[in-house]
């Protein structure tokens, strides 16, 4: 099986199977663990939200960032899709048909007069010139991983002063488009309706990519009311901090640099007791900052463990 064909079949498999163990994927595709890891890294680098949580899975479905194609590139993709469709499975053929239809719509659109190498932008369901300008600016910023300055409309009842954000995704919503971005001022990931934004401008600053696992919970509106969640702030010290920079703990929404090379995470949890085994396993590399109830429970358990190990165990 060719490399590209295997990647497509991996995507199809992950779309129909939830939390697939690596052993099952290795057996199903006849590849090694190392090859499987390289394939997953390739899918993630291509923009597909693959992550591992008790097994490999795809994040909730979302539109990929908008791309721009030259006429030659669009024609080449269309010809390749039409020639490949008869030899692939039904699900892949259906996806190719939809992609070909989008390319046909883009090719049928007469581009404005300009240089010969003018690129064709795939059509987006814009509402007005302001939304179109926002989509164009944010799409470019997401592609280049550059921070942006955003300003609200006066009717949004928020400050009209521009504020910095790291744009991650543009997501469709019932009223248009939403921007998934990290807000520097509030230090958290927000989902912002473009209808509330007045303008966006690209900054020179580049931001680091964020793992798909952190973004997955924001791709669709949370089904759990915020009042049922507990917000936990923990400080992680080196050397654990270096490992958690690459693989943040489950439920982590935001993080910030702390003193002495530490990282302060804000974690959303349904039950505080679910965090206790992991926190205790980290030892003194982790300190609970908030809430006070969890910090007191950690203190109580630490005292009990210290008292039990302070005396010599009885023989036998």
Domain definitions of the chain by residue range: 3-58, 68-121, 129-216, 226-308
Query: How high is the pLDDT of residue 43?
Result: 77
Which residues, in sequence order, are CB contacts of 160 under 8 Å at separation 6+?
151, 152, 153, 154, 198
CATH classification for the domain delimited by 3-58, as one of 1.10.3090.10, 1.10.10.10, 1.10.3720.10, 1.10.1020.10 = 1.10.10.10
For residue 48, the number of C-alpha atoms closer than 13 Å in the C-beta half-sphere is: 18
Mean pLDDT of 139-151: 89
CATH classification for the domain delimited by 129-216, as one of 3.30.43, 1.10.1750, 2.30.30, 1.10.3470 = 2.30.30
| CA dist., res. 213 & res. 49, Å (int) | 8
Helix axes 22-29 and 33-45, enclosed angle (nearest 10): 100
Mean pLDDT of 114-136: 58
Query: How high is the pLDDT of residue 218?
Result: 64
Which residues, in sequence order, are CB contacts of 286 under 8 Å at separation 6+?
234, 235, 236, 237, 240, 279
Mean pLDDT of 49-66: 63
CB 109 within 8 A of CB 175: no
Query: What digits encode the pLDDT tens for the residues 229-262?
Result: 778 889 998 888 888 777 777 666 667 788 888 8
| CA dist., res. 126 & res. 155, Å (int) | 20
**Average per-residue pLDDT in the chain?**
76
- What CATH code would you report for 226-308? 3.30.70
Mean pLDDT of 293-309: 87
As a three-state string, the secondary structure of 64-127 is CCCCEECHHHHHHHHHHHHHHHHHCCHHHHHHHHHHHHHHHHHHHCCCCCCCCCCCEECCCCCC
Please determine, for residue 47, whether its predicted confidence score (pLDDT) is greater than 80: no
Query: What digits encode the pLDDT tens for the residues 65-90?
Result: 556 667 677 777 777 777 776 766 66
285 or 129, greater pLDDT: 285
Query: How high is the pLDDT of residue 203?
Result: 92
Query: How high is the pLDDT of residue 212?
Result: 67
Mean pLDDT of 122-128: 46
Six-digit token string for 40 = 């997953």
Cis ω on the peptide bond leading into residue 291 (within 30° of 0)? yes
298 or 115, greater pLDDT: 298
- Whole-structure pTM value: 0.34
Backbone angles phi, psi at 39, to 5 degrees: -65, -40
Percent of the chain with pLDDT over 70: 72
| CA dist., res. 74 & res. 256, Å (int) | 42
Mean pLDDT of 23-40: 86
Band of residue 202 on the pLDDT scale cut at 50, 70, 90 = very high
Pairing of strands 176-183, 188-193: antiparallel
Please determine, for residue 200, whether its predicted confidence score (pLDDT) is greater than 60: yes
| CA dist., res. 168 & res. 218, Å (int) | 11
Longest dimension (CA), the chain: 91
136 or 66, greater pLDDT: 136
- Read off the DSSP letter of residue 144: H
Please determine, for residue 63, whether its predicted confidence score (pLDDT) is greater than 50: no
Band of residue 120 on the pLDDT scale cut at 50, 70, 90 = very low
Six-digit token string for 2 = 């060719």
Please determine, for residue 119, whether its predicted confidence score (pLDDT) is greater than 60: no
Q: 3-state SS of the chain: helix, strand, coil percent to 5?
A: 45, 25, 30
């Amino acid at each position: 099986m060719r490399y590209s064909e295997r990647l497509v079949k991996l995507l199809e498999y992950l779309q129909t199977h939830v939390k697939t163990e690596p052993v099952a994927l290795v057996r199903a595709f006849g590849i090694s663990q190392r090859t499987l890891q390289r394939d997953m890294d390739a899918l993630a680098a291509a923009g597909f939200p693959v992550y591992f949580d008790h097994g490999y899975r795809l994040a909730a479905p979302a539109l990929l960032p908008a791309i721009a194609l030259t006429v030659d590139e669009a024609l080449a993709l269309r010809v390749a899709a039409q020639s490949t469709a008869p030899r692939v499975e039904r699900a892949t053929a259906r996806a190719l048909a939809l992609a070909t239809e989008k390319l046909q719509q883009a090719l049928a659109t007469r581009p404005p007069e300009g240089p010969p190498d003018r690129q064709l932008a795939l059509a987006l369901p814009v509402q007005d010139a302001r939304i179109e300008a926002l989509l164009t600016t944010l799409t470019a910023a997401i592609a280049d991983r550059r921070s942006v300055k955003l300003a609200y409309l006066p009717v949004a009842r928020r400050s009209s002063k521009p504020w910095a954000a790291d744009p991650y995704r543009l997501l469709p919503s019932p009223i248009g488009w939403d921007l998934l971005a990290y807000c520097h001022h509030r230090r958290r990931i927000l989902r912002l309706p473009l209808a509330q934004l007045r303008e966006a401008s690209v900054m020179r600053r580049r931001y680091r990519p964020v793992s798909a696992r952190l973004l997955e919970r924001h791709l669709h509106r949370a089904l759990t009311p915020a009042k049922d969640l507990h917000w936990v702030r923990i400080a992680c010290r080196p050397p654990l901090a270096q490992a958690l920079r690459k693989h943040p703990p489950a439920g982590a929404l935001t993080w910030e640099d702390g003193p002495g090379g530490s990282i302060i995470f804000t974690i959303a949890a349904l039950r505080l007791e679910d965090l206790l085994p992991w926190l205790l396993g980290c030892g003194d590399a982790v300190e609970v900052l908030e809430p006070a109830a969890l910090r007191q429970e950690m203190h109580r358990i630490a005292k009990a463990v210290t008292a039990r190990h302070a005396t010599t165990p009885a023989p036998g």
